[in-house]
């Protein structure tokens, strides 16, 4: 991929936008990217948590700024990426991490609940992709990583149908974007995390058994960490993965292999 800077295998000096960056995987990813020398724009709805996360990165010697953004709002999404370019001059990478759960059996879901899940996990993802792809295609390079889920590749539990369907859509968007923009020098890949130590996993305990159930499904019996997901995203941003495109990579302790 053209436009690489820094030492081989490292994306040092590149700019990156991280959505859903105020907690969990997004916050860990923003910190990991900054640690690797990337210039980070953290995006999320919670200004207090987002600005705190950005301050902590700067205190550790990284370069980071927070932009409040609800990715269901096209105007806010456009403003987010305009601000990223204003800050850093270009957009080299993007980690589309923002997501919401979607609990409830399909027959019990209200139209509003279903639409809310898709508004963030699918339509919101598309709104971000649209801005990212335009910017990256114009500059002739870029790497995008969409954070999906093992649920986007394999239906695991009943009772989370809207979430599962929205994550399947996210995987499809990844593939379409990769095919449409490969000749523009833009790569688009996805991660499919299994159970990761986050607030969302803890909240799923009542609905689907959370970590307790997952430990019986993972070959190692281990729950993953946000940093383990972030490290794979970091590799996908680096020149070391330059021939990887349109893929959805499981970060799941081997669950998808079972």
Please give the pLDDT value at position 2.
34
Kindly state whether residue 77 falls inside one of the protein's structural domains: yes
256 located within any domain: no
List the one residue out of 96, 109, 237, 89 whose CA is nearest residue 165.
Answer: 109
The answer to whether 204 touches 177, Cβ cutoff 8 Å, is: no
pLDDT of residue 5: 36
Q: State the catalytic residue, choosing from 66, 81, 88, 163.
A: 163
CA distance 233 to 134: 21
**Range(s) of the domain holding residue 207:** 15-249
Predicted local confidence at residue 1, as pLDDT: 34
Is 163 noted as a catalytic residue in this protein? yes
pLDDT of residue 82: 98
Asked if the structure places residue 1 within a domain, the reply is: no
* Structural domain includes residue 170: yes
- Is 245 a domain residue? yes
In this structure, is residue 92 part of a structural domain?
A: yes
The answer to whether residue 254 is domain-embedded is: no
The confidence score (pLDDT) of residue 116 equals 97
Number of domains the chain contains: 1
pTM, whole model, 2 decimals?
A: 0.93
> Is 10 a domain residue?
no
Helices (H) and strands (E) in the chain, counts: 10, 7
Return the CATH number at 49: 3.40.50.720
Structural contact between residues 251 and 191, judged by C-beta atoms closer than 8 angstroms = yes
Give me the average pLDDT of each 10-residue run along the chain (258 residues): 41 94 97 98 98 98 98 98 98 98 93 97 98 98 97 90 97 98 98 88 66 86 95 97 98 95
């Amino acid at each position: 991929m053209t436009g690489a800077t820094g030492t081989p295998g490292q994306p040092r000096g590149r700019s990156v936008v991280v959505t859903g960056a105020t907690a969990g995987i997004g916050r860990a990813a923003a910190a990991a990217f900054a640690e690797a020398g990337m210039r980070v724009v953290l995006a999320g709805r919670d200004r207090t948590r987002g600005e705190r996360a950005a301050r902590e990165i700067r205190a550790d010697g990284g370069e980071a700024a927070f932009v409040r953004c609800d990715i269901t709002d096209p105007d806010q999404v456009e403003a987010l990426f305009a601000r990223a370019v204003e800050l850093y001059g270009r957009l080299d990478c993007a980690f589309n991490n923002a997501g919401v759960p979607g609990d409830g059996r399909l027959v019990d879901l209200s139209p509003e609940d279903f639409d809310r899940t898709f508004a963030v996990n699918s339509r919101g993802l598309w709104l971000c992709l649209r801005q990212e792809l335009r910017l990256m295609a114009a500059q002739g390079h870029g790497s995008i990583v969409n954070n999906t889920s093992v649920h986007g590749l394999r239906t695991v539990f009943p009772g989370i149908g809207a979430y599962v369907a929205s994550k399947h859509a996210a995987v499809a968007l990844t593939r379409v974007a990769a095919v449409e923009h490969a000749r523009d020098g833009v790569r688009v890949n996805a991660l499919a995390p299994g159970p990761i130590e986050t607030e969302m996993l803890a909240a799923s305990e009542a609905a689907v058994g959370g970590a307790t159930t997952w430990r019986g499904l993972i070959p190692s019996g281990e729950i993953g960490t946000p940093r383990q997901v972030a490290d794979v995203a970091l590799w996908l941003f680096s020149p070391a993965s330059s021939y990887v495109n349109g893929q959805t990579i499981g970060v799941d302790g081997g669950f998808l292999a079972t």
